[in-house]
Amino acid sequence: MTILIQFEESLPPNVDCNLLKRAIRTTLERHNRTDVDITLQLTSDANMQQLNHTYRGVDATTDVLAFNQDYIDPETDRLYLGDIIISVETAQSQALEIKHPLDHECALLAVHGTLHLLGYDHYDPEEQTIMWTIQDQILKDLIINSQEDVE
């Protein structure tokens, strides 16, 4: 499994990339999908708004987008599952509002995006309950593990 993280040049790299990789890796491992590769891009609100407008017809920024690719990469012979894009600016606003660290918000969005790539959605209440329960379980384990890593 390869998890590539890319930063938009204008953003300072102030997010714990190791935590984000663990968030994605844990989500994939829990779904027995260690045979796939993913790219995570950390971007600005301006870029996210453009992507959201182009691909979803919504002329506003959002916190996370996930784009399934589902093709076999000829260089690795593994499935390239897709791309997750997180707006760091929106994540920062949400983290401040909820009063938790930016890293935790970005980890939540990384798990959320990975679950979308794995086929989960939240358009109806039943799907939302399933997706958010899985998301919460993974995040609880990640936060505990992150705190243990510090001790």
Q: How many domains does the chain have?
A: 1
**CA distance linking residue 147 with residue 151, whole number of Å:** 7
**CA distance linking residue 146 with residue 22, whole number of Å:** 10
H-only helix segments in the chain: 17-30, 45-56, 88-98, 102-117, 125-150
- For the domain that residue 55 is a member of, what is the CATH number? 3.40.390.30
Asked if 42 and 11 touch (Cβ cutoff 8 Å), the reply is: yes
pLDDT digits (tens, 9 = 90+) for 24-60: 999 999 999 999 999 999 999 999 999 999 999 999 9
Residue 71: pLDDT band (50, 70, 90) is very high
Residue 15: is its pLDDT beyond 90? Answer: no
Question: Six-digit token pair at 72?
Answer: 């076999």
pLDDT digits (tens, 9 = 90+) for 82-109: 999 999 999 999 999 999 899 999 999 9
pLDDT at 13: 59
Global confidence as pTM? 0.91
Query: Whole domain around residue 130: which residue ranges?
Result: 2-150
Residue 150: pLDDT band (50, 70, 90) is very low
Tell me the three state secondary structure of residue 119.
coil
